[in-house]
Structure 1
Amino acid sequence: MRAWAASKRVPARFLVLGAFLFAGVLKAGPTLSRLPVDLTLLAGGGLAWVLLRAWIGGARAASCRGLGLTGLWYATFLPGAALAAPTSYAFQKVATLFSFSLLASLAPFVLLREREDLRPFLDAVAFFCLVLTVDGLLGAGQGAQRLETAGGGTIALGRSAGFLFLFGALLLARPGPVSLPILGLTGAAAVAAVFSGSRGPMAGAVVALALTFALGRRGAGMAVRKLLLCGGALALAVGLSLALAPPGSLRRTASFLRGEFGSSEQYRALAARASWERLGSEPWGTGWGGFAALVDLDGGTVRQYPHNLLLEVTLESGWACGACTALVLGAALGAARARADRPEGRILFAGLVFWIINALVSGDVNDNRPLFAFVSAALCLGAP
């Protein structure tokens, strides 16, 4: 714990990467929305400049095998681009996929060249998740039905707080005395996640944490008893904060714990069924944007994507894309699992599981830049 706390400041290149990964949420805030230049474009340009300077300075891909697998993955996106629906949404989806999403996948191969680079990468991601979590908590007690962050909505807050909770919990699990600042950070993240009412991120954080410990290697140095003790303190903090919780978030959380499903879950189930029914007749895919153009679940109400990454890419870019996506995610999980004997490796593995679960329950393919970066981070570091 002391070694982590005593680490040097996060290098600027990783802060630029973190800013790019979360620019889509940050730019919706009341202050940054006034910028004359789109923040995602600005952050993307900054990251491209960082990568160009590193390349000129002699940096090359940390793993040619991982980079090749990533290139193959993006090649399977091409059939969907060729068959894309003639809509503005489909055009924007293709353009974003082969620019910003691709940049998120390529950057770690240049920036994470050694095992020691993993920690500042994770610190940068945690920093921006902290910014978004604090922004969301500042809105507590203002009469909202659910807490949200930076104008990016409740899911953005849930994802940010969920990862921050994982980050703090796995730091607390290290042997040694409990760090009160880390304990406070983790508690604040847990409260923010509950207040968001976003059930996917909450479930994803719990599953990722449980899976990380279940697959933990013998002698990995995780103080489970200490984590359980801290978990009790965190549960008490969340319980005491419920008096301030937005009523809508409390209702959603309570219904989820009772196993009840609302309109959000029902829509996802209908979208999954409709997508699955079309898969058999679309081996090359419907084209990007095809779900919005071909699937009608609400009698005329347009829904743009099924909120499931695997279903979306398989339906819109074909069977090969779906299979390759599953292969890439599996390979990344295996590589991250091989690093799970160290604290930063466990956070990488838990974060990867967390972002994958979120990608399977919310957003479209381009809403998952943190996932793409974590996949590449795992692939470029490879097995120890």
Structure 2
Amino acid sequence: MASSPFLRRLSPLRHLLSFEVVFALFLFAGVYKASPHLDWTPYDLTATFAALVSLVAVILVLTGRVDFRIESLLLASLLAVFVTYALFSLRWTPGNGYATEKAFRLASVTTLSFLGCAFVVSKARIRLRRFLATTLALALVTAAAALYLLYLHGPVRIEPFNTVYLTTGRMIGFGVVIVGTYLLFSSTSIWRSFVGVSLFVPLLVALSVLDGRGPFAAAIITVGLLVPLALVVTPLRYWPIRLVPVIGAIGSIGALLYYFRDTLRLVEKFESIFAGNTAPSYTNRVDYITAGIDVWLSGNTVVGHGLGSWPAVSGQRAHWPHNIVIELLVELGLVGTVLFFLLILVGLYFTLEGYLTTLEPEYVAVFAILCYTFLNALVTGNFNDNRFLFAAIGLLCYRVHAGTAPPLLSIAEIRSRTTQFSNSD
């Protein structure tokens, strides 16, 4: 039955009030909630939107609009085992109040980040696209705020919304990855590529003027990893409107960074690494990795020292090692590390099967977001700071067609299928 004109006029409002918009505002609340423009809010925005997400999720479940598919249930079960083991490790952790707080956040906001993506956002293409569009909108607003501060004060320490540059940098990096994926795998006309580049370049510039090496490197590496795949699956006639703009934009930003290398702090930080005259943030992270390996090998290698034990057993002032692998090994041992990576591997199996079956670009976007969040988790934050990674793992449940994964396709078969899809458009 055709919808009425009134309902069609309400359609944009329905998108704005969707679960995906509320969920994205919850997931990225740490980016903007410190803004002076939001001082009037009486409650913590992360907790507020977490409550709203939970309420909407309950309504969706009660109204039968959540599919409990095998992919979501399997990954949720694996996550439940991982979280249960992490909480059980509190029995032997030498950690104090930090361990308790970490356990609470892991069982609440971090788990909610996964569940929202696994059971709702990954349910349908429209939901995934709505979530990606909201994430991109937040990234663009953050980038605009950064560029405005650059215009006002020059290339000093830029922190949009009074938020630490690493957090805002990661937000902008999401936009770089999403637009980069779109340009490489979805653009089908010069006009679409022009619009994509018009967003891609400002996002890259904003990311460049921040001080965060981690978000910048993670975004560039992620998009760089997608280029070889795009070379394989993209028909030759689409190379000029897909590959050339992305490679050209990244090359232009590289030239811009080289030209302003004496004024941009980001370039100075990268140069200090290669020159051996490293900054404290870099040397500290190297020390954390070295200390973490020593602590892990010194005892409790299998079961770990317990959740939140890092500050007690490492001798370091930081509460976490800013590397999720070291954090897993030290606090949860081989058991927790295997459980965590099993979660990722099973999710990647679903994504690979879905992509080889359909060649839909949404699968590439999900994979790119996982790569980006994992690379960030290797250089900053703890489990809960990296709840973006847990959300990305939940997105791996996005799979249109169920069934057994087919054999890996040859390059010729992939090109043939891609050509068929393009001709059908």
Structure 1: how far apart are the matches of 2:97 and 2:400?
39
Change (3 A) 1:49 1:185: same
Q: Is the 8 A contact 1:61 1:67 kept in 2?
A: no
Corresponding residue for 2:150? 140
Structure 2 counterpart of 1:190: 204
Percentage identity across paired residues of the two chains: 25
Q: Pick from 36, 61, 64 the counterpart of residue 68 of structure 2.
A: 61
Where in structure 2 are the equivalents of 1:1-384 lying within 5 Å? 9=15, 12-58=18-64, 59-62=66-69, 63-111=72-120, 112-141=122-151, 142-143=153-154, 145-173=156-184, 174-179=187-192, 180-216=194-230, 218-219=232-233, 223-230=238-245, 231-233=247-249, 235-236=251-252, 239=255, 247-256=264-273, 261-280=278-297, 281-282=299-300, 283-297=302-316, 302-340=317-355, 341-381=359-399
For 1:251 and 1:135, locate their aligned partners in 2 and report how far apart those are by CA, in whole Å: 23
Q: Between Structure 1 and Structure 2, how many residues are aligned? A: 374
Please state how far the C-alpha of 1:286 moved relative to its aligned partner: 1.9
- Give the conservation status (yes or no) of the 8 Å contact 1:195–1:250: no
TM-score norm. by structure 1 comes to: 0.87
Q: Is the 8 A contact 2:295 2:314 kept in 1?
A: no
Tell me the distance in 1 between the aligned counterparts of 2:348 and 2:218. Answer: 15
| Whole-angstrom CA distance in 2 between matches of 1:324 and 1:373 | 17
Unaligned ranges ≥5, structure 2? 1-10, 403-425
Counterpart-to-counterpart distance in 1, 2:29 and 2:280: 29
Counterpart CA distance in 1 for 2:222 and 2:400 is 20
For 1:160 and 1:257, how far apart are their aligned partners in 2? Answer: 27
Letter in 2 for 1:195: V
Identify unmatched segments of 5+ residues in structure 1: 1-6
Change (3 A) 1:66 1:383: farther
CA RMSD of aligned residues (A): 2.8
| Larger-gyration structure (1/2) | 2
Structure 1, 58-67 or 185-194: larger mean CA deviation: 58-67
* Shift in alpha-carbon separation, 1:203–1:84, aligned structure 2, 3 A: same
The offset of 1:85, in angstroms, is: 4.2
Cα offset for 1:57?
A: 0.7
CA drift at 1:330: 2.5
Counterpart Cα distance in 2 of 1:124 and 1:257: 37
3-state DSSP class of the match of 1:376?
A: helix
Q: Which has the higher helix share?
A: 2
- TM-score, with length taken from structure 2: 0.79
List per-residue Cα deviations over 1:348-384 (Å, max 9, x = no partner).
1111100011011111110112211110110353876
